[in-house]
Structure 1
Amino acid sequence: MNKTVLITGSSTGIGRAAALLFSKNGWNVVATMRTPEAEKELNQLENVLVTRLDLEDVPSIENSMKEAIERFGKIDLLVNNAAFGQYGIFEALQPEQIEKQFRVNVFGTMNVIRAVLPHFRAQRQGNIINVSSAGGRIGIPLISMYVSSKFALEGFSEALSYELASQNISLKLVEPGGVATPFHETSAEFFANNPELVSYQEFSEAALNKLGQMGEKMSTAEQVAEEILTAATDNSDQFRYIVGEDAKSWIKDRTSMDDLTFARHMRQLFNS
């Protein structure tokens, strides 16, 4: 029997690339998305089930698990890819925007994992890959809410991995740097400058310029999907998989420098 993977956020970007790659490699694929009725390609593939899953809708999570098991008999791998991002100075963000960041990226991911664990425990095995970010290990200005949600995901994943190992369930993290996907136009929200926060303008412009320069070195969604497949099939105990030269460089700096040296490096980098 072919293995089955359930992937969240499969309508675009990394999730879509992963769905196509796993399908090409002989896996049964449950490609979940908020609006499956709009899908025109994945639902034409024989070994792919397209179904609705919205991280803010717990019944949709439970229904997608049920549909996956009814169609393919089991789930072997869960790839938590779906995410939501926001750009902007923290002081400009409203509480409801901050709450949505954690409701989707953290609590939504937790709810998907909670839904699949009874199935994994019943079959005495399973694998989970959480798509995090280099921003889950490094504080980056103008995306403080996004990176804080990824920091939370990293800590949760690391702690949970020890619990799940006792149940023969593995959990791994994939940490991309910048990725050239529609995330930056569709999933991410941009907030206009607040006239009361004009004192941030010089810093914001410099930081945005620096982030734009970094965007020139983005990985592709397909490269991230390849790393997800590697993490799923290499049968190793490796926990973190870093994708992209930008991510590797940032994380190398963060892990090789002491806190003060790294903080000075970041302030200089963003002209603060």
Structure 2
Amino acid sequence: MRTALVTGASSGIGLAICQHLLQQDWHITGLARDFSKAGSLTAKPCFTSVPIDLADLEQLPDRLTQLIKSIPSINAVIFCAGKGQFGSIEEFSYPQIHDLMAINFTGQAYLARAVIPKMKRAKHGDLVFMGSEAALNGSRKGSLYCASKFALRGFAQALRDECAKSGIRVSIINPGMV
């Protein structure tokens, strides 16, 4: 059975991807802060919910290390966690800047860092990052959101080159507004 980790699994694109992969007989480990809005997803026999806050950068490395060790094999990681927050730079508090970058980029990079060694040993895997069209052009009232998605796009592009000879495929999808 193929196994995928999906971040942002409790809503939006992440939830839709989980539902689709379950129909394709994948085993899913879903990561999200809160599964209360995920409906019947958490009752599915091939779905494991893991409450985790990818913006909690202090706790994240240890939590991810334990999680990756607990899963025998991982065929794919689909990075859907994200937060859309818009406004002029001066409208953001410093903690809001930190949190937006943590959830949209840094937490995703931490998870990639945690899972890649396992995938390299297996000589296969797919890393699929959910970016945004905001990663293609900056926009008014989007300075921080665009920056977080530009960072994710650059990270995925560089990671693709880093992983090219290891059997790990890296891709990024940049949808419009959802």
The 1:38/1:133 distance shift into structure 2, 3 A limit, reads closer
State the Cα deviation string for residues 32-72 of structure 1 (Å, max 9, x = none): 111347755112111111112221241333333234x1xxx
Contact 1:54–1:60, Cα closer than 8 Å, also in 2: no
Partner SS state of residue 91, structure 1: helix
Counterpart of 2:20 in structure 1 is 21
Contact 1:164–1:170, Cα closer than 8 Å, also in 2: yes
Partner SS state of residue 85, structure 2: strand
Q: How does 1:84-95 map to 2 (within 5 A)?
A: 84-95=83-94
Partner SS state of residue 86, structure 1: coil
- Please give the alpha-carbon distance, in whole angstroms, between the structure 1 residues aligned to 2:31 and 2:102: 18
- Please give the alpha-carbon distance, in whole angstroms, between the structure 2 residues aligned to 1:21 and 1:123: 25
State the Cα deviation string for residues 111-167 of structure 1 (Å, max 9, x = none): 000110111011111110000000001111112111110001111111111010121
- Please give the alpha-carbon distance, in whole angstroms, between the structure 2 residues aligned to 1:44 and 1:13: 18
State the Cα deviation string for residues 236-262 of structure 1 (Å, max 9, x = none): xxxxxxxxxxxxxxxxxxxxxxxxxxx
Shift in Å at residue 176 of structure 1?
Answer: 0.5
Contact 2:11–2:38, Cα closer than 8 Å, also in 1: no
Shift in Å at residue 86 of structure 1?
Answer: 1.5
Contact 2:156–2:170, Cα closer than 8 Å, also in 1: yes
Counterpart of 2:146 in structure 1 is 147
- Please give the alpha-carbon distance, in whole angstroms, between the structure 1 residues aligned to 2:164 and 2:51: 29
Counterpart of 1:62 in structure 2 is 65
- Please give the alpha-carbon distance, in whole angstroms, between the structure 2 residues aligned to 1:97 and 1:117: 29
Unpaired runs of 5+ residues, structure 1, are 180-272
The 1:62/1:52 distance shift into structure 2, 3 A limit, reads farther
More helix by share: 1
Where in structure 1 do 4 or more consecutive aligned residues deviate above 3 Å?
A: 36-40
- Please give the alpha-carbon distance, in whole angstroms, between the structure 2 residues aligned to 1:177 and 1:38: 23
Task: Report whether the alignment pairs 1:7 with 2:6.
Answer: yes
Partner SS state of residue 85, structure 1: coil
Structure 2: which amino acid aligns with 1:101?
L
The 1:25/1:104 distance shift into structure 2, 3 A limit, reads same
- Normalised by the length of structure 2, the TM-score is 0.91
Partner SS state of residue 73, structure 2: coil
The 1:114/1:158 distance shift into structure 2, 3 A limit, reads same
Counterpart of 1:159 in structure 2 is 158
RMSD after superposition: 1.6
Unpaired runs of 5+ residues, structure 2, are none
Partner SS state of residue 128, structure 1: strand
- Please give the alpha-carbon distance, in whole angstroms, between the structure 2 residues aligned to 1:138 and 1:38: 32
Shift in Å at residue 177 of structure 1?
Answer: 0.1
- Normalised by the length of structure 1, the TM-score is 0.61
Partner SS state of residue 6, structure 1: strand
Structure 1: which amino acid aligns with 2:27?
N
Structure 1: which amino acid aligns with 2:153?
E
Structure 1: which amino acid aligns with 2:79?
N
Contact 1:8–1:81, Cα closer than 8 Å, also in 2: yes
Shift in Å at residue 89 of structure 1?
Answer: 1.2
Seq. identity, %: 29
Q: How does 1:57-206 map to 2 (within 5 A)?
A: 57-58=59-60, 59-67=62-70, 69=71, 73-179=72-178
Partner SS state of residue 142, structure 1: coil
The alignment covers a number of residue pairs equal to 174
